[in-house]
Amino acid sequence: MDILIMAGQLILGLTILVGVHEMGHMLTAKWFGMRVEKFAIGFPPKLFGKKFGETEYMIGAVPLGALSKSPV
């Protein structure tokens, strides 16, 4: 059971780390005036999403990374 808890903590920690990293990309792009179409924590399929302004923020089913997508 301890191994499952440690694996869950590892996945959660990596997801938070990668999410913060990708958020840095997104905020920098917006700061320089680029349009950001999507920002997701986790990979598809999409579990939940909400559009604010021109950016769609999503939570994906596979919590092993993040995505920040610009049209360029």
pLDDT in tens, 13-54: 988 898 899 899 999 999 999 999 989 888 888 899 999 999
* Residue from 22, 37, 54, 56 carrying the catalytic annotation: 22
Per-residue tokens: 28 = 């920098």
Whose structure tokens read 């089913």?
A: 61
Q: Give the model's pLDDT for residue 68.
A: 76
DSSP state of 53: T
The neighbour count for residue 22, using CB atoms within 10 Å, is 18
Residue 71 has pLDDT above 80, yes or no: no
Q: Give the model's pLDDT for residue 32.
A: 95
Please check whether residue 68 is in contact with residue 26, taking contact to mean a CB–CB distance below 8 angstroms.
yes
User: What span, in angstroms and rounded, lies between the C-alpha atoms of 52 and 12?
Assistant: 25
User: What span, in angstroms and rounded, lies between the C-alpha atoms of 13 and 72?
Assistant: 30
pTM over 0.85: no
54 is catalytic: no
- Of the pLDDT bands very low, low, confident and very high (cuts 50, 70, 90), residue 63 is confident
Q: Give the model's pLDDT for residue 10.
A: 92
